[in-house]
A = this chain, B = another copy of it.
Amino acid sequence: MSYFRENIENTPGYTPGFQPAGADVVKLNTNENPYPASPKVLEAIRNVSSEQLRRYPKPLGDDFRLAAAEMLGVSADNIICTKGGDELLSICFRAFCDDNRPVAYPVPTYSLYPVLAQLQNCRRVEVDFGGEFSLPAELADTNAALTIVCNPNAPTGTFIKPEDLRELAKKLNGKSILLIDEAYVDFAEGDCVGLACDFDNVIILRSMSKGYSLAGLRFGYGIACRQLIDGLRKVKDSYNVDAVSVAAATAAIKDRDYFRKNVEKVKADRQILTVELKRLGFTVTESKANFLLAQLEGAGGIYRKLAEQNIYIRYFDQPHLSDKLRITVGTKVENEKLIGTLKKIISM
């Protein structure tokens, strides 16, 4: 017999991206920022006292909420701190979905959504993005309790205009929560924070992993109207963010200059990498994230040959993606090494 619920027993769970070790590895497979976090983050971590460790932290991560609220022009009451963006996703599934309350999202997208649906035992309505990766009209009529749009989308890097999502929010109002997963929005122009203020059914997800180079810290947050935030707080663990990560994430979000420079570097290198890949014959989707989706016949084979050379990118053997490679924008040196190796592989 199994002690687990049937839906848990039957789910394979999420498979985290491969984390190769070794100094000569070029790791462009999990969309980490190639540059380090602001020096102020390390400083904040080194200033943590044993008294902060000994005592329970503030349950809501007040310092971070205040800093993020100021940056975004919202109130701290509109913000919930979470252990990475993933925890906010998990909280939303637990708050809004069950066997009678389905989730809907366009595909292909972040592969964690179906896993969370299975854990919460809710039906999934997966709507095909179509070749242009624009917002499918059917998404407004799914009768889902929770509708998720990842924007910029992973793994395509494509960006849906905020005004299109505003239309969707309006259509779903009174029917469904619209969760806009903005984990990669730091590399785009524009965002949907305004929708969280204007609609009582919109939640914006943010992550400190990508734009702030803090994947190892596990820190994210949600932005929504007060009423939604109050409900989500009931579902989260009482003390879901710890004293050290709150201090570190607060230092990161306050250092606006460092953040802007870091993001601009990645965006500039994204442009160079796009041009180089096109020169090699790839069709490259316009990306507003810190990765590129590049199409070429024989993508799967290229992926394997790169891995043999200790260069790791991501390959998804599934519809719309099996002829494409997802490549994280790395440092200049890493990007050049990738392009050099690709040249050799393709000319073989």
Partner-B contacts on A (CB < 8 A): 1-5, 8-9, 11-14, 16-17, 19, 30, 32-33, 35-37, 41-42, 45-46, 48, 50-59, 83-84, 86-87, 90, 94-98, 101, 112, 119, 121, 145, 174, 176-177, 201, 209, 213-219, 228, 231, 233-235, 237-245, 248
Q: How far is the CA of A214 from the CA of B244 in the complex (A)?
A: 11
Q: How far is the CA of A121 from the CA of B235 in the complex (A)?
A: 12
Q: CB within 8 A of A242: which of B213, B217, B238?
A: B217
Q: How far is the CA of A46 from the CA of B95 in the complex (A)?
A: 37
Q: Contacts A96-B4, A177-B3: A59 and B214 contacting too (C-beta < 8 A)? A: no
The answer on a CB contact under 8 Å between B30 and A51 is: no
Chain B residues, CB < 8 A from A37: 50, 53-54
Q: Contacts A45-B46, A59-B16, A201-B3: A54 and B231 contacting too (C-beta < 8 A)? A: no
Chain B residues, CB < 8 A from A17: 56
The answer on a CB contact under 8 Å between B86 and A239 is: yes
Q: Contacts A87-B237, A218-B242: A248 and B53 contacting too (C-beta < 8 A)? A: yes
A-side interface mostly: loop
Shortest Cβ distance from A5 into B: residue: B98
Closest Cβ–Cβ distance, residue A29 to chain B (whole Å): 10
Closest Cβ–Cβ distance, residue A225 to chain B (whole Å): 10
Shortest Cβ distance from A8 into B: residue: B95
Q: How far is the CA of A248 from the CA of B248 in the complex (A)?
A: 15
Q: CB within 8 A of A234: which of B19, B45, B119, B240?
A: B119
9 contacts between A and B (CB under 8 A): A1-B174, A13-B233, A13-B235, A42-B53, A45-B45, A53-B215, A54-B216, A84-B239, A87-B237
